[in-house]
Chain A
């Protein structure tokens, strides 16, 4: 069994306590308009094109056995219908302007890779499994969790919660901390902005809470989308009903990922949104703190 992973990030200090290594699973059932990792969405490998790195040597075109690469206006254009993701172009691209996103790992291989920093994990650090939505690759995830548990490392699972309840609850056998996203309290708006309704997500969160999973609530703060008073109020009310919330983490919107959309040839719909200011974040933080929550800005 293999899992499709699109990134492994070491020295990750904002995805749970201590020093961590974060593994990013590829594939996500949500399509958040502000998605910071658009390469996480598809469940298949894909090719990213870094135009700024391209020196137009056309080696990619020469090595392509499927005639999928064309040059258009001094740019590489990949015909996704012809492309088989064989990797010949990305392997041979001398400047790494073409990059194959997504690598298949078997569990042992992945464990070896993420435990390279094990010596740094002491005092609370560990491995965070993120995505995408890790639960989309459920069987692989469980195998990975088992293997990591055996290695006695702290495990955090970053999830959208959009999954079958029993699958989520099964992970409580292994997971030490959940990083659980609440994107919007209004189901209709949730669907409009993320492509799915929020009932299942909120229900799963309650169930997880009941089963004793330690939870860090993650709130992406997207100005004009979910930072209005009403939504914040409802969010707080909801979180108050939970017993096992250890912290509330704000993930302020940033536009650093806009280039990624270009590299994937994907449309980006929310370019009008501005990043929240520090003052706005401070104010919001105070609002939550009044209700007794421990708040981290930036996770």
Chain B
């Protein structure tokens, strides 16, 4: 437990907090919170063993067999009191590595072990096995190495300069969510479908028939593997039941044995079976690969409600038992931290959270209100559990009742940061715009932070953040990155030579286009590497139409395929352009040469000028068209240059506007900016205004943000900071409900509330030991405050202070 200040758990708080739940859940929850994140070498070891002895030539079949080998040979356990079983590692929070994608070297493992925040303990045994077996075998063979070998120098230059990041360099593209199919079909049913497809293959006329056959055979192996994996649990439960002396537990173990011998082989018959089935599927997906955003059951209230209703009607289930089972599932999510990330990728997403987002409410395929009894029960679960994982969101359609939002606000106002709030009608419009059918769009929702997708039918990969303010810095310096002196952009002209602001904007747009082209060029290379070298036969069973097409999820098997590039720094770029336009071109307060000088010197000797830029220029987030029109102009340009361009697997590039934690990293790669921000400070996050620059209250922030055309994105992220007193009474809650309804009426995508006082946060920074479970909303997710790095902590404190002024 050394070097883990943040892991010190305040028992008094937990005891106070877990008062709503029963003893079983208290114990499981406490175990999960107290467990230390550590590296499990089991998967890497088994995978290496398998590959050393593998003679299989077919890529998908090899992957399927490796999947099977891991599931058949990994350690399994059922913990005392558990009702839902299955772990990815040997024990809670033991987190595997994926050396086929990214190989951790000794120094990477040391960094994971020693870094003060989001560390993963690495035991001596792990170091040894890594050095003896894992590193020697995988070195030179990983996806990460292939990527860096194949991308052009200009891509590397931009990547190193912090112009963009690349998710896929350390984790496989995941980004998908399950629909309702597993609640209707068992793995045996999927195998039948696969066999039918194999039967139908036209080996004489279809030149891809053999590829398809391999892929389908691989899916079959994977389906059987997950059935056998469940059977191992069934057998274990039976054995444990024989030895169990407590009669109650014995009964439970026998029930677990029965459930695991039925699902996932067959379609579930009960609420409990449905949950256990999902959990096996979840473990399967995150064991097969380290896909980004883990995996998620999506609209849990919709999928589970028929089971819930039937079980209750037939006397098999009571509400409390259903809650207990859901809470067991919650603990399972919490036992599974994100696979360890290093370097830039760790910085862009500095969290243990693996972004499984449970969607609650919204609408059904037929467009009717999906809020049901289970929606409220899920909110009870979230309120009681107060865990960072899974992430939960409510989906608000004009068809949902206010009561539903108010219930969610009661949880949000406690400062927990969950659930976040989405406009389900906007999500449908976004997906329709992209060409999805109305049923598929309504079946969709959001995952990860805020990303829209057609659940169960789409591969919607996030491919990297794009640092829009950095483009401005490069433009101001005629294509040179002033931090390194390297010419990485186009020569679009010296700042002094621009006669009008419009001319300058043209140069900015040229640079923007240039770097987007580089990003996309890299993407096409990377996507192709995944399509050719990585297969995910298990995931492919779950996403339509991989079986029908006989194609892998990574190779265009999904019905819809999208690649997202995430724009970051809306507030900073808008305020910076507004400052240039106003002070340099209109007021002519500052000379052009002087202006560059000020930025290059990080405002040293120019504090008055900086104060003027901070306080006397137009700022985004105040419902001020001067600034907001510039925001729109940049947004439209970003959109125009990305949206609709073809991706490798067939499908289109799309945009969304969210940061996770990358705004801190991106800020560290930019010198002083024209909005008065000093060098290396974080840039603005999501589509929120620059921290502390919104001065006209929440309605003005929402109005500014809604001027962006959200429907053209696949998700935007807006943080609204509230101190608890704004929500203390019914009037406050009603007002927020109106805020949300109006923001959504303006076709906006998402809003989330951080409800906490600055004082609390400052104390938490000083005394992390006292606040082990203090959760704040970071970006599209919540995290333990004391897991955040100092810069992020300070930023959240600043946001809060601003609110109380």
State the A residues within 8 Å of B (CB).
Answer: 9-11, 13-14, 18-19, 55, 57, 59, 94-96, 116-117, 119-120, 122-123, 125, 296
Contact = CB atoms under 8 A, between A and B. Distances in A.
Contacts of B612: 94
Nearest to B612: A94
Nearest to A120: B742
A11 B699 contact: yes
B557 to A, nearest CB: 43
Contact of B616 (A57, A94, A125): A94
6 contacts: A11-B735, A57-B608, A95-B611, A116-B623, A117-B700, A119-B745
A117 B703 contact: yes
B583 to A, nearest CB: 11
B698 interface: yes
A24 to B, nearest CB: 14
A212 B758 CA distance: 47
Nearest to B737: A123
7 pairs of A and B residues whose beta carbons are closest in the complex: A94-B611, A11-B697, A94-B612, A13-B735, A120-B742, A10-B697, A11-B699
A116 B367 CA distance: 32
Contacts of A59: 608
Contact of A94 (B608, B696, B697, B698): B608
A117 B731 CA distance: 18
Contact of A14 (B731, B742, B746): B731
A265 B746 CA distance: 44
Contacts of B739: 11, 19, 120
Given A95-B615, A120-B739, A122-B738, A19 B731 contact: no
Contact of A18 (B609, B615, B738): B738
Interface in B693-715: 696-700, 703
B699 A10 contact: yes
Contacts of A57: 608
Given A10-B697, A13-B731, A13-B732, A55 B611 contact: yes
A9 B697 contact: yes
A19 B699 contact: yes
B703 A123 contact: no
B602 to A, nearest CB: 17
B607 interface: yes
Interface of B: 607-609, 611-612, 615-616, 623, 696-700, 703, 731-732, 735, 738-739, 741-742, 745-746
Contacts of A11: 697-699, 735, 739
A94 B699 CA distance: 27
A148 to B, nearest CB: 17
A36 to B, nearest CB: 17
Nearest to A91: B616
A55 B607 contact: yes
A278 to B, nearest CB: 11
Contact of B699 (A14, A117, A122, A296): A117
Nearest to B610: A94
Contacts, number: 57
Determine which residue in B703, B738, B746 has the highest number of CB atoms from chain A within 10 A of its CB, and name it.
B738
Contacts of A123: 738
B45 to A, nearest CB: 57
Contacts of A94: 608-609, 611-612, 615-616
A120 B608 contact: no
Contacts of B742: 19, 119-120, 122
Contacts of A10: 696-697, 699-700
A17 to B, nearest CB: 9
B738 A19 contact: yes
Nearest to A57: B608
Contacts of A95: 611, 615
A59 B609 CA distance: 11
Contacts of B735: 11, 13, 18-19
Contacts of B746: 119
Given A11-B735, A14-B731, A120 B615 contact: no
Contacts of A18: 735, 738
Contacts of B703: 116-117, 119
Nearest to B731: A13
A111 to B, nearest CB: 15
Contacts of B616: 94, 96
B783 to A, nearest CB: 28
Choose among A94, A116, A122, A125 the residue with the greatest number of B CB atoms under 10 Å from its CB.
A94
Contacts of A55: 607-608, 611
Contacts of B697: 9-11
A284 to B, nearest CB: 17
A250 B413 CA distance: 25
Contacts of A19: 699, 735, 738-739, 742
A120 B732 contact: no
Nearest to B702: A120
Nearest to A299: B731
Given A18-B738, A296-B731, 13 more contacts: A9-B697, A11-B697, A11-B735, A11-B739, A14-B731, A19-B739, A57-B608, A94-B615, A95-B611, A119-B742, A119-B745, A120-B738, A122-B738
Nearest to A297: B729
Nearest to B732: A13
Contacts of B745: 119
A185 B121 CA distance: 72
A265 B728 CA distance: 35
Count chain A CB atoms within 10 A of each CB in B696, B700, B735 and give the residue with the most: B735
A292 B406 CA distance: 28
Nearest to B726: A13
Contacts of B609: 94
A266 B746 CA distance: 44
Given A55-B607, A119-B745, A125-B738, A96 B731 contact: no
Contacts of A14: 731
Contacts of B698: 11
A5 to B, nearest CB: 15
Contacts of B608: 55, 57, 59, 94
A55 B696 CA distance: 24
A182 to B, nearest CB: 22
Nearest to A117: B699
Contacts of A116: 623, 699-700, 703
A13 B730 CA distance: 11
Most chain B Cβ neighbours within 10 Å, of A11, A13, A123: A11
Nearest to A125: B738
Nearest to A14: B731
A286 B46 CA distance: 71
A77 B711 CA distance: 53
A17 B240 CA distance: 62
